[in-house]
């Protein structure tokens, strides 16, 4: 098998979501022909999907060494390192290519993504519109258009395009292939299944719709990730909560979680909130009451998301980056951090009094019980931030310059969580000013 065959096999693996196999195929292709700029670009993409960002950067740079005009590599590297000049070069390259190939919808889709990385959202939407005009079945363009519109606050326009997400190869959400129909929001004289489809934070966000959906069906079943099952037992509405990959009871219609805002016509002004919709198990909350110390404010902290996620470097920081918080008197910090970043607790910032609760948090019901005994949670964009918001606990969310659309809205606010305050970077990658603002606000609270 030659270099091109391995390259094409890598694309097939990547489109099917077989990321490790795609990496192996691209590497085999490059071993046979090291002069392929597109193979290096694609290798960088699959490395980024695995959270191996330094290797991804090196692959994108190698692609540009071979072909300095490769717009895809310019865009990918520019997005990863915050390189505005590279992104502008990518825009110019995509525009030239799209003009020269008027039947190619994907070039317009790529142009729109480059505009979106530059923060030029209206131009991004126009590029996605052109892609859809060229090919009305271009799923990537519909999904990218939805994300751009969500960032602009034009949610009602976005929801129909968001339904194309299941047709985007390699995106992640899986079409379950259920024989039963999708629920259209009408009253159902039967059993409705709502099922989680993406990350834990998304499930926590959209779980609020369970109570609304339950009013329109006879019986409601919720399927979700296993770490959420015990916590979701506190939701209003479901008769049963089932973990992923376990047998489902019979149902008459179904709907994935992210389709719920469209069913209920949600806009930034109508994001449903009638109060906290998730609660910790009462006995667990009492068990965690030992966290409370008279005379001190108890503040939970989370500084990193999952290391393996492709954009984690942009949304996360280190524990040492939170050192300015240690100077605030009257605060005791409670670490809710899990997994590899929790190792940083071995050497916390000087003067920071911190209790490590991570090893005792076996699922989100445990995490909720700990949070119920805190005065405040300070977190980067993680599932814990969504959990605290869903519980109605004060939460300060530290977000990147171009955050997930859920954290956008009025300055410092999000339509989804009334008790959340959003501290946003003014410049990409610049966390220090954000932490200084948080420290000043924390001193006022203490």
CA 80 to CA 91: how far, in whole Å? Answer: 16
CA 125 to CA 157: how far, in whole Å? Answer: 11
Name the token pair of 378.
Answer: 């300070």
| Radius of gyration of the chain measured on its C-alpha atoms | 23
Give 300-364 as a DSSP string.
EEE----TTSTTHHHH---SGGGGGGGG-TTEEEEE---SGGGGGGGSPPTT--EEE-GGG--SH
Count Cβ atoms within 10 A of the Cβ of residue 18 and give its class: 0-12 exposed, 13-18 middle, 19 or more buried: middle
CA 151 to CA 157: how far, in whole Å? Answer: 12
Sign, CA torsion 144/147/148/149: positive
The 240-243 sheet, strands edge to edge: 240-243, 217-224, 188-195, 253-256
Q: What are phi and psi of 41, to 5 degrees?
A: -60, -45
Contact 224, 244 (CB under 8 A): yes
Task: Give the per-residue pLDDT at 308.
Answer: 65
Give 167-228 as a DSSP string.
GSTTSS------SSPBP-SS-EEEEEEEE--S-HHHHHHHTTHHHHHHTTEEEEEEEE-GGG
For 385: left if phi > 0, alpha if psi spans -120 to 50, otherwise beta; the answer is alpha
What kind and span of H or E run contains 121?
helix 121-134
Contact 260, 206 (CB under 8 A): yes
CATH no., domain 293-445? 3.40.50.2000
CATH no., domain 188-263? 3.40.50
**CB atoms inside a 10 Å sphere around CB 343:** 10
Cα of 180 vs its chain's centroid, Å = 29
DSSP-based three-state secondary structure for 242:
strand
Task: Give the per-residue pLDDT at 173.
Answer: 66
Name the token pair of 396.
Answer: 């300060």
pTM across the whole model: 0.88
Pairing assessment for the beta strands 354-356 and 253-256 based on DSSP bridges: unpaired
What kind and span of H or E run contains 354?
strand 354-356
- Using CA atoms in the order 196, 245, 231, 194, what is the torsion angle rounded to 10 degrees? 40
CA 242 to CA 306: how far, in whole Å? Answer: 24
Contact 136, 152 (CB under 8 A): no
Q: Give, as one character, the DSSP assignment of residue 140.
A: H
CATH no., domain 3-167? 1.25.40.10
For residue 253, the cross-strand partners are: 192
Pairing assessment for the beta strands 395-399 and 420-424 based on DSSP bridges: parallel
CA 53 to CA 45: how far, in whole Å? Answer: 9
Q: Give, as one character, the DSSP assignment of residue 249.
A: P
From first CA to last CA, the distance across the chain in angstroms is 66
Q: Give, as one character, the DSSP assignment of residue 395.
A: E
CA 308 to CA 28: how far, in whole Å? Answer: 23
CA neighbor of 74 nearest in space, from 30, 40, 49? 40
196-245 tens-digit pLDDT: 998 999 999 999 999 999 999 999 999 999 999 999 999 999 999 999 98
103-158 tens-digit pLDDT: 999 899 989 998 998 889 999 999 999 999 999 999 999 999 999 999 999 999 99
Continuous H helices in 1-120 = 3-15, 19-32, 37-49, 53-66, 71-81, 84-100, 105-117
Where in the sequence of the chain do the CATH 1.25.40.10 domains occur?
3-167
C-alpha distances (whole Å) from 382 to each of 19, 109, 287 are: 23, 28, 25
Per-run averaged pLDDT (10 residues), the chain, 446 residues: 90 85 91 89 86 85 87 79 79 86 91 90 96 96 97 96 90 80 97 95 98 98 97 97 94 97 97 97 90 87 83 87 94 95 93 92 96 97 97 97 90 96 90 96 88
CA 122 to CA 359: how far, in whole Å? Answer: 45
Task: Give the per-residue pLDDT at 381.
Answer: 96
What kind and span of H or E run contains 297?
strand 297-302
Name the token pair of 79.
Answer: 């997005």
Task: Give the per-residue pLDDT at 117.
Answer: 86
């Amino acid at each position: 098998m030659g270099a091109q065959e391995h390259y094409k096999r890598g694309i097939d693996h990547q489109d099917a979501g077989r990321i490790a196999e795609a990496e192996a195929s691209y590497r085999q292709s490059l071993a046979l022909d090291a002069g392929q700029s597109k193979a290096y670009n694609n290798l960088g993409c699959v490395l980024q999907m695995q959270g191996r960002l330094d290797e991804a950067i090196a692959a994108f740079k190698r692609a540009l060494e071979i072909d300095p005009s490769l717009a895809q590599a310019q865009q990918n590297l520019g997005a990863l390192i915050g390189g505005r000049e590279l992104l502008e070069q990518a825009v110019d390259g995509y525009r030239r290519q799209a003009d020269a190939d008027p039947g190619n919808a994907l070039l317009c889709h790529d142009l729109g993504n480059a505009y979106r990385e530059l923060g030029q959202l209206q131009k991004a939407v126009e590029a996605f519109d052109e892609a859809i005009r060229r090919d009305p079945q271009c799923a990537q363009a519909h999904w990218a258009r939805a994300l751009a519109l969500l960032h602009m606050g034009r949610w009602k326009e976005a929801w129909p395009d968001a339904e194309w997400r299941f047709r985007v190869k390699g995106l992640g959400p899986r079409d379950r292939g259920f024989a039963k129909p999708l629920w259209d929001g009408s009253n159902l004289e039967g059993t409705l299944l709502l099922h989680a489809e993406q990350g834990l934070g998304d499930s926590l966000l959209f779980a609020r719709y369970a109570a609304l959906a339950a009013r329109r069906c006879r019986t409601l079943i919720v399927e979700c990730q296993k770490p959420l099952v015990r916590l979701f037992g506190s939701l209003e509405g479901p008769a049963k909560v089932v973990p992923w990959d376990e047998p489902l009871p019979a149902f008459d219609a179904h709907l994935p979680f992210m389709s719920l805002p469209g069913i209920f016509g949600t806009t930034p002004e109508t994001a449903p909130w009638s109060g906290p919709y998730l609660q910790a198990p009462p006995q667990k909350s009492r068990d965690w009451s030992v966290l409370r110390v008279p005379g001190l404010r108890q503040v939970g902290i989370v500084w990193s998301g999952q290391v393996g996620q492709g954009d984690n470097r942009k949304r996360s920081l280190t524990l040492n980056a939170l050192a300015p918080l240690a100077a605030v008197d009257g605060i005791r910090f409670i670490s809710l951090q899990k997994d590899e970043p929790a190792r940083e607790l071995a050497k916390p910032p000087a003067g920071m009094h911190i209790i490590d609760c991570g090893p005792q948090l076996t699922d989100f019901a445990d995490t909720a019980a700990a949070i119920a005994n805190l005065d405040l949670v300070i977190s980067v964009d993680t599932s814990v931030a969504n959990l605290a918001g869903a519980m109605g606990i004060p939460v300060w969310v530290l977000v990147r310059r171009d955050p997930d659309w859920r954290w956008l809205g009025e300055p410092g606010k999000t339509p989804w969580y009334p008790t959340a305050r959003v501290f946003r970077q003014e410049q990409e990658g610049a966390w220090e000013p954000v932490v200084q603002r948080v420290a000043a606000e924390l001193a006022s609270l203490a």
